[in-house]
């Protein structure tokens, strides 16, 4: 699962929120699998939209925090 790579990146980049992002992306992948097996919804659609929303939910607060910091 693609979300797993966020876990080792969290301490390297100093962002514990990457662990949350990784867990959400892994959960989205699982939901996409279940949706694909149980219904007529394309798993790629679920995975793509879900992961995109998860990434957006991560980056918007990060940008807001960064905009409040002064650049040296």
Phi-psi region of 39 (alpha: psi -120 to 50; beta: other; left: phi over 0): beta
Q: What is the rounded CA–CA span in Å between residue 50 and residue 41?
A: 13
* The token pair that represents 58 in the structure block: 């991560």
Model pLDDT for residues 2-42, shown as the tens digit of each residue? 899 999 999 999 999 999 999 999 999 999 999 999 988 99
Confidence at residue 56, expressed as pLDDT on a 0 to 100 scale: 96
Helix axes 43-67, 17-38, angle to 10 degrees: 160
pTM of the model: 0.84
């Amino acid at each position: 699962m693609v979300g797993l790579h966020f876990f080792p990146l969290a301490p390297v980049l100093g962002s514990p929120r990457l662990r949350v992002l990784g867990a959400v992306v892994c959960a989205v992948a699982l939901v996409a699998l279940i949706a694909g097996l149980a219904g007529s919804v394309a798993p790629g659609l679920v995975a793509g939209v879900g992961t995109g929303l998860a990434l957006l939910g991560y980056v918007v607060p990060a940008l807001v925090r960064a905009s409040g910091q002064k650049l040296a």
